[in-house]
Structure 1
Amino acid sequence: MTPHGTGTLTIGRGNAEGRISGYVLKVIRESTGLTQERFAERLGLDVTTIQGWESGRRPLMAISTGTYLSLRHWLLRFGVQPRLLFQLDMALEADRFVGYVLGTEPEKAGLENHPLASWVITRPFTDLVAWLFTGTAPSAMAGAARGIGRRGPVATAPSLLPDERAHFFDHLKVAAERADTDRVDGMLLRRQAHYVASFDDTAETADWLTVMQRAEEHRMSRVGEWTPSWAVVRSGAHSLARLGDREGLQHFIRVHLADEVCEVANLNYWAYWLGEVGEPQLADTFMIELKPDVWRGTELLRHLIGKLDSANPYLDVVVHTLWALVMLRPSTLDAQRADTLRDAAIRTLDEAIASPQSQRELEAVIYALRMIHRG
Structure 2
Amino acid sequence: MPQRRPSTLTTGRGFTERGREGRISGYVFKLMRESTGLTQEQLAERLNVDGTTVQGWESGRRPLMAVPVGSYLALKHTLLGLPVAPRLLSQLDLAMEADRFLGYILSADRADTTGHPLASWVITRSFTDLLAWPFTKQIPVVLSGVASPRARRGPVPSGPALAADEARHVFTHLKVIAELADVTQVDGMLLRRQAHYVAGFDGSSETADWLAVMQHAEERRIRQTAEWTPAWAVVRSGAHTLARFGDRDALAHFIRGSLGSDECEVANLNYWAYWLGELAEPQIADTFMIEPQAWHGTRLLDHLIAKLYAANPYIDVVAHTLWSLLTSRPALLPQAVSRVMPPLTRTLDDDGISDQSRRELQEVFYALRMSQRR
Over residues 243-290 of structure 1, what are the superposed CA-to-partner deviations in whole Å (9 max), with x where a residue is unaligned?
010011001001111111111100000000000001000000000013
Match of 1:312 in 2: 312
How far apart are 1:374 and its partner, in Å?
1.0
**Counterpart contact for 2:15–2:107, Cα < 8 Å:** no
Unaligned runs of 5+ in 2: 1-13
Superposed displacement of residue 224, structure 1: 3.3
Deviates more, 1:11-20 or 1:315-324: 11-20
SS at match of 1:40: helix
Confirm whether residue 334 of structure 1 aligns to residue 338 of structure 2.
no
| Counterpart selection for 2:25 from 21, 28, 45 | 21
TM-score norm. by structure 2 comes to 0.94
Q: CA deviation at 1:347?
A: 0.8
**2:215 aligned with 1:213:** yes
**Mapping of 1:218-233 within 5 angstroms?**
218-233=220-235
CA contact (8 A) 1:253 1:317 kept: yes
- Say whether the 8 Å CA contact 1:15–1:62 is kept in structure 2: no
Structure 1, unaligned runs of 5 or more: 1-9
- Cα offsets for 1:108-134 (capped at 9, x unmatched): x2x131000000000000000110111
Cα distance between partner residues in 2 of 1:309 and 1:121: 26
In structure 1, give the amino acid aligned to 2:122. V
Counterpart of 1:320 in structure 2: which amino acid? H
Q: Is the 8 A contact 1:49 1:58 kept in 2?
A: yes
For residues 25-64 of structure 1, the aligned pairs below 5 Å read 25-64=29-68
Q: 1:140 to 1:15 in 2, by over 3 A?
A: farther
Q: Does 1:67 align with 2:71?
A: yes
Shift of 1:186: 0.5
1:137 counterpart SS class:
coil
Counterpart mapping for 1:235-314 below 5 A:
235-291=237-293, 294-314=294-314
Asked whether the 8 Å contact 1:14–1:98 carries over to 2, the reply is no
Q: Where does residue 3 of structure 1 map in the other structure?
A: none
In 1, are the aligned partners of 2:334 and 2:368 still within 8 Å (CA)? no
Task: Let me know the Cα RMSD of the aligned residues.
Answer: 1.4
The offset of 1:79, in angstroms, is 1.9
TM-score (norm. length: structure 1): 0.94
Cα deviation code 1:221-254 (max 9, x no counterpart): 1233210000000000000000010011001001
Displacement of 1:334 after TM fit? 3.3
For 2:252, give the aligned amino acid. Answer: Q
Which residue is equivalent to 1:5?
A: none
Identity of aligned residues (%): 61
Structure 2 match to 1:6: none
Structure 2 partner of 1:4: none
One-letter amino acid of the counterpart of residue 150, structure 2: I
CA distance, structure 1, for counterparts of residue 280 and residue 120 of structure 2: 17
